[in-house]
Structures are given as structure tokens and as C-alpha cells.
Amino acid sequence: MKKRILFVCLGNICRSPSAEAVFKGLVDAKNETSLYEIDSAGTYGYHEGESADRRMQSHAVKRGYNLTSISRPFNPGVDWDSFDYIVGMDDSNMQNLKNMARNPDDLKKLHKMTDFSKSYDYQEVPDPYYGGEKGFELVLDLLEDASDGLYDFINNK
Ligand code: 4NP
């Protein structure tokens, strides 16, 4: 059975589309693409239907990640059942997701991305939307590091 991962941020135009692309890049490099189903969503539907933020895209592409996903809101009636790991980017995402959980089994699927960090001591992947260029680079640095840790966690390494 495929391992199904959903990355979640606020708008689904910066952090979670990047997490999706970075984690896909990691499993592609291991020739394990077919073992995973990877998607992303936002807790807030304002950007629904939009491509990833242009600034986020331009930073990501420099590292070889194409952000192809289209923003969509988290759908509690479907997504809790369709994924094995629901991974939030910051504490606010985590609270919003907790509020949308229907039962204790849903909550067991919930994780925060930075809990898988190996080299960074950040408690959240900070929202880069209103900040400068460095914020987008930090998002990618944190996601590359935590993706490694998430892979190990999923595969009991
Ligand atoms: P994201 O970033 O949650 O990483 O996609 C944001 C995108 C949009 C907004 C906030 C954060 N916004 O307020 O519109």
C-alpha cells in the first residue's frame, strides 16, 4: 500500500506546495516515487485555484523543485481518511487542523514538520508571505532538512 502524505499550511501557495515538491524530490531520488502519494492543502481557502506564489516558485526552481500544485483547502470529510500522515507547518496550522479532527484516530495522523528536523532548531516553518527573500530560502532549508527526518520516521529508520 502507498504511503500517503498531505502537507498543510495556511494558504497552500508557499510552504506546503514546497514541502510537497521537496518530499517528492527526495523519494524520486531514491527511485521510490511509486511508493508514495503526496499532496498539499491549506487551512484557508482564499487562494483556492491559484498556482504557488511566484516568489516561492522562483526560489524553489533554483534548487530544482517545480511547484506545480494548485491551491486547495483542507477537506476534513475526505482528507483525514485519504492520508496516513497530515503534516502542518506551524502552530497555527496545527491548531486549525486539531479543530477539524473528527476523532482521536484523526489526531494520531497529525504531525508538525519541524518535529522531523535533523539539523535545525526551529519549532515552526515560518510563514514567508509578508517577509523578504530570506524567508523563502529558510522555508526551503527547513523543508529539505525535515523531509529527510520525515522519510526516516515513515520508514522506521
Ligand atoms: P502559505 O503562505 O501558508 O505558506 O501558503 C501564505 C500564503 C498566503 C497568505 C498567508 C500565508 N495570505 O495571508 O494570503
List pLDDT tens digits, range 29-85: 999 999 999 999 999 999 999 999 999 999 999 999 999 999 999 999 999 999 999
Q: Are 125 and 142 in contact (CB under 8 A)?
A: yes
What's the CA-to-centroid distance between 12 and ligand 1, angstroms? 7
DSSP-derived letter for residue 49 is T
pLDDT at 39: 98
Which residue's CA lies nearest to atom 9 of ligand 1? 11
Which residue's CA lies nearest to atom 8 of ligand 1? 11
Does CATH place domain 3-155 in 3.40.1400.10? Answer: no
State the closest ligand 1 atom to the C-alpha of 17, by its place in the atom list counted from 1.
5
pTM of the predicted model as reported, rounded to 2 decimal places: 0.98
What's the CA-to-centroid distance between 7 and ligand 1, angstroms? 14
Please name the amino acid found at residue 86: I
pLDDT at 92: 98
pLDDT (mean) for 132-154: 98
Residues labelled catalytic: 9, 15, 127
pLDDT at 6: 99
Best of 22, 129, 138, 142 for a ligand 1 pocket test (most atoms within 8 Å of beta carbon): 129
Q: Name residue 85's beta-bridge partners.
A: 5
18/134 Cα distance (integer angstroms):
15
Please name the amino acid found at residue 53: D
State the closest ligand 1 atom to the C-alpha of 13, by its place in the atom list counted from 1.
5
Helix, strand or coil for residue 111?
A: strand
Strands of 110-112's sheet in order across: 36-42, 3-9, 85-88, 110-112
* Burial group, residue 102, by CB count within 10 angstroms (0-12, 13-18, 19+): exposed
